[in-house]
Structures are given as C-alpha cells and as structure tokens.
Amino acid sequence: MQVSISSTLTILHDGQFWIGICERRDGALYGACRFVFGPEPADEDVLAFVCGQWGRLDFRMRADGGEEADASAASAVAAGGRNPKRAQREARKTLEAARHGVGTKAQQALAAAYEERKEERRADARTRREAEARRVFELRTAKRKRKHRGR
C-alpha cells in the first residue's frame, strides 16, 4: 500500500502581517494551520521555521468530506412528507455547497480547526464551572455542619 504525503507552505501578506498557510495531505486526510511571521520573513527565517517548527504544528487532520456531502444529500431526498421537487432542490443546493464550499480548502480546514478548538474551550469551561460549583457547595455544607455542631 502506497501512501503519499505532501506539504505546502504559502506565505502571503494579509494587510497587516505576513502569514504562512501550512497545508498537509496524508492519503485521504487533509489539514491546515496558520502561522504568523510578523514582518516580512527572509529566506533564512522561512528555512528556520520549516526545519525547526514544522513538526510541532497542529494540522487537525480530517477526511476530505466528499462522502459526507453525498450522504447528507441522500438523506435530504429520502426524507418523507415533503414536496419531492423541493427536497431535490435542497439536496442539490447542499451538495453544491459541500462540493464548492466557502473559501479554499485551507480556509475550510482552518475554520474547522477553529470550531473544534471552540468546542474544546467550551467543554473545559463547563467542567471548571461545575467543579467550582461543587467546591462552593461542599464549603457551604461543611460550614452548615460546623454551625450545627456549635463550632
């Protein structure tokens, strides 16, 4: 079995900073991340980045998503109780949006990674909030017990 891995680095100016869009394709997986260089990087800076930091980048590899779009379109058509022409129109629109998408593949991968990190932050915040609520409750019940015992 032959697996091909390819990586690209695109450096561009976004109006304020020079950024690098790092893309990686590993078989059917695709991932991208963004690195801010700041001022215009020299060739030595780019080489140092690729040699020193490329292995530490978080690409958030995902499948290309072609099968997911087909499945969602098929489920939209199979949904009963609706006008079949409307279902077909919605399925076509979903399929075209999934096929073309908004932005480039790198932009879509960056957006997906951002959403994933956002969900992780929300989950972490929720667990911290629950732990703090448990701690406050324990303190309150301990104080109530101490007062009941006359301390």
pLDDT classification of 146: cutoffs 50, 70, 90: very high
**Do 127 and 72 fall within a single domain?**
no
**Do 92 and 24 fall within a single domain?**
no
**Do 108 and 57 fall within a single domain?**
yes
**Do 112 and 93 fall within a single domain?**
no
pLDDT tens figures, 6-38? 888 888 887 888 888 888 888 778 888 888 888
**Do 59 and 115 fall within a single domain?**
yes
> SS3 of 7, please?
strand
**Do 78 and 137 fall within a single domain?**
no
| Secondary structure letter of residue 150 according to DSSP | T
Model's pTM, two decimal places? 0.45
Counted domains in the chain: 2
pLDDT tens figures, 78-114? 445 567 777 777 777 776 766 665 667 788 888 888 8
Q: Which residues contact 92 (CB under 8 A, 6 or more apart)?
A: 73
**Do 50 and 117 fall within a single domain?**
yes
**Do 110 and 60 fall within a single domain?**
yes
Give Cα separations from 130 to 50, 118, 123, 143 (angstroms): 42, 18, 11, 20
Domain that holds residue 112: 5-64+102-147
Residue type, 75: S
Contact assessment for residue 29 and residue 46, using Cβ atoms and an 8 Å cutoff: no
Where does the chain show beta strands of DSSP type E? 5-13, 18-26, 29-38, 62-63
**Do 84 and 123 fall within a single domain?**
no
pLDDT tens figures, 116-129? 899 999 999 999 99
Q: What pLDDT score was predicted for residue 40? A: 86
Q: What pLDDT score was predicted for residue 82? A: 67
**Do 39 and 112 fall within a single domain?**
yes
**Do 32 and 88 fall within a single domain?**
no
